[in-house]
Amino acid sequence: MAKITSRSPLAPKGFPDLPLVKGVRFATVAAGVRYQGRTDVMLAVLDHGTSVAGVFTKSATRSAPVLDCQAKLGGAPDGPAAILVNSGNSNAFTGHYGQTSVQEITDAVARVSGVASERVFTASTGVIGEPLAHDRIVQKLDELNDGLNVDRIKDAAEAIMTTDTFAKGSGAQIELDGHTVTIAGIAKGSGMIAPDMATMLVYIFTDAIVAQDRLQALLSELADKTFNCITVDSDTSTSDSLMLCATGASGVDAGDSPAFAEALHDVMLDIAHQVVRDGEGATKFVEIHVTGAASDADAKTHGMAIANSPLVKTAVAGEDPNWGRVVMAIGKSGAAADRDLLSIRFGETLVAENGWVSPDYREEDAAAHMKGQSLMIAVDLGLGEGKATVWTCDLTHGYIDINADYRS
């Protein structure tokens, strides 16, 4: 294994004090899938009638658990549901054996918890291409089921970590129709490490009532504005999974509530930012704000081209307000741009406009901004109303250290 890095300098102070979500219970166990001396399996069991939505990696080489979840999504929200996640082994690129492992695990969860196997969703994260020792998980299922409790979400966040340097979670409570509706989510991700890959797993729970179709539409829409707007290194895991479960236990239908959608968006964005903040080797958190594009899609294309450019990311690491590299990234993105209409800001400092460096630009102003830990690069294309915001981190020696280390 590559070296385990210490807690990211961009990490929040600690795991948040998440509100309890009625209708979902958690348990974790140390099954020894690969790691020793830590929990590595989490089980979440959701009450009868829970709506389940999901968004998964688009990879053409996605893992067996992802394929299984996708096949099950959209089924009738009858009876309880369950999610089982293991860390240490991703069960990816494991041939037909991978499907067998998924089947063995889901059957066992169904057996001990009384959840129909079509409502058991799984995920695996860790080493790729090695058979998953599913027996180790199966033999712990009674223990897991006995330990289920509504207040164990933090334990769940810790059990799914691989090389994350901190456990990730976010929550919110809002008042709707005189009742409290709660949202809480956990995630792991962006601690990629040889021989693993950048897998992001996110599980969000709410006690709101939201019909399944509406829940799926909401999740897909908000994923595009949050998790699909972050990038660490442009690589895509074969296991990325994002699931949203609405237990309905609050008794409040929030399907059409803008306040609920906004609170959910904020929880998702908070978690997405935490994933970037745990990017391998990251020392800077960067918001890239694109306006004036020909369309929102063009704005996102430009934003991601800037966010993924190794030359931009190394300039950020070097605290260099190198706007020429931003111009380069815009130029190569493929989306519409006019060199002479562009303007670029680093923080509050106008750097370039009218196809050239701004006449009032003083490099020391932009350089001062680059010394911070949270940076803003703002680009206006001057073409239309399209806008997008994306988030990334810098590219440092730490990334090379983590990913170029030989497996042992």
List binding-site positions for substrate. 162, 188, 199, 280, 403, 408
CB of 166 to its own copies, least distance (A): 22
Q: Which of 291, 303, 287, 289 is nearest to 386 (CA)?
A: 291
Q: At what angle do helices 95-113 and 64-72 cross, to 10 degrees?
A: 50
Q: Which residues neighbour 215 within 8 Å (Cβ) at sequence distance 6 or greater? A: 51, 52, 53, 244, 246, 255
CB of 408 to its own copies, least distance (A): 10
Residue number with CB closer to its own copies (15 or 93): 93
Q: Are 202 and 184 in contact (CB under 8 A)?
A: no
Out of 199, 231, 291, 392, pick the active-site residue.
Answer: 199
CB of 199 to its own copies, least distance (A): 10
Residue number with CB closer to its own copies (18 or 92): 92
CB of 383 to its own copies, least distance (A): 11
Structure tokens that stand for 134 in this block: 């599913």
Structure tokens that stand for 249 in this block: 């236990």
Is residue 199 part of the annotated active site? The answer reads: yes
Q: Are 265 and 207 in contact (CB under 8 A)?
A: no
Angle at 280 between CA 279 and CA 281, to 5 degrees: 110
CB of 130 to its own copies, least distance (A): 8
The amino acid present at 170, given as its one-letter code, is S
Residue number with CB closer to its own copies (92 or 254): 92
Please give the residue ranges that form the binding site for its own copies (CB under 8 A): 57-62, 92-97, 128-130, 192, 194-198, 233-238, 308-311, 314-315, 317-320, 322-325, 327-333, 335-340, 342, 352, 354-357, 395-397, 399-400, 403-407
Known binding residues are 162, 188, 199, 280, 403, 408
Q: Which residues neighbour 82 within 8 Å (Cβ) at sequence distance 6 or greater? A: 43, 44, 45, 46, 109, 110, 113, 115, 119, 120, 121
How far apart are the C-alpha atoms of 209 and 49, rounded to whole Å? 9
Residue number with CB closer to its own copies (94 or 257): 94
Q: Which residues neighbour 147 within 8 Å (Cβ) at sequence distance 6 or greater? A: 27, 28, 29
DSSP per-residue letters across 351-404:
EEETTEE-TT--HHHHHHHHTSSEEEEEEE-SSSSEEEEEEEE---HHHHHHHH
| Residues with catalytic roles | 199
